[in-house]
Amino acid sequence: MKPIHSLLPVAHWAMKISLFVVILLQQIQVIKVVDFTRWNDVLPFTYVLSAMLLVCGGFLNKSTLTIISAALIFLITCYFIYLHFDSKLPLTFLFYLWPLSAGLFYLANGNE
């Protein structure tokens, strides 16, 4: 069976929008009141902003904004995994697995 290549743009947009929604829902409690003097508030705000810029980067011809925001999503997700990781495989690792893989995907592919 052959893949349906005409659905690829729809799949890219669905992945970008779902990534934004997942990150927003994960961090909504933290970013409701942001204190920009605290690192613990700035990082989730940057995380949500990067996801929003990933979606906005899809509207541009060049993929620079998509790649930069994907790199930020990937790095911040790695940091969050490091913070929440203990000797066992925690459930929070699974919550960060989707943003980690999607960030890496758009870091590698851009808007293609």
Asked if the structure places residue 78 within a domain, the reply is: yes
Asked if the structure places residue 21 within a domain, the reply is: yes
Tokens 């293609």 correspond to what residue? 112
Q: pLDDT by residue (tens digit) across 33-78? A: 888 898 888 999 999 999 999 999 999 989 999 999 999 999 999 9
Asked if the structure places residue 59 within a domain, the reply is: yes
Count of the separate structural domains present in the chain: 1
Asked if the structure places residue 66 within a domain, the reply is: yes
Q: Which structural domain range is residue 95 located in?
A: 16-27+34-109
Asked if the structure places residue 105 within a domain, the reply is: yes
Asked if the structure places residue 46 within a domain, the reply is: yes
Q: pLDDT by residue (tens digit) across 4-35? A: 888 888 888 999 999 999 999 999 998 888 88
Please state, in angstroms and rounded to a whole number, the distance separating the CA atoms of residues 70 and 106.
6
Asked if the structure places residue 69 within a domain, the reply is: yes
Asked if the structure places residue 102 within a domain, the reply is: yes
pTM of the model: 0.86
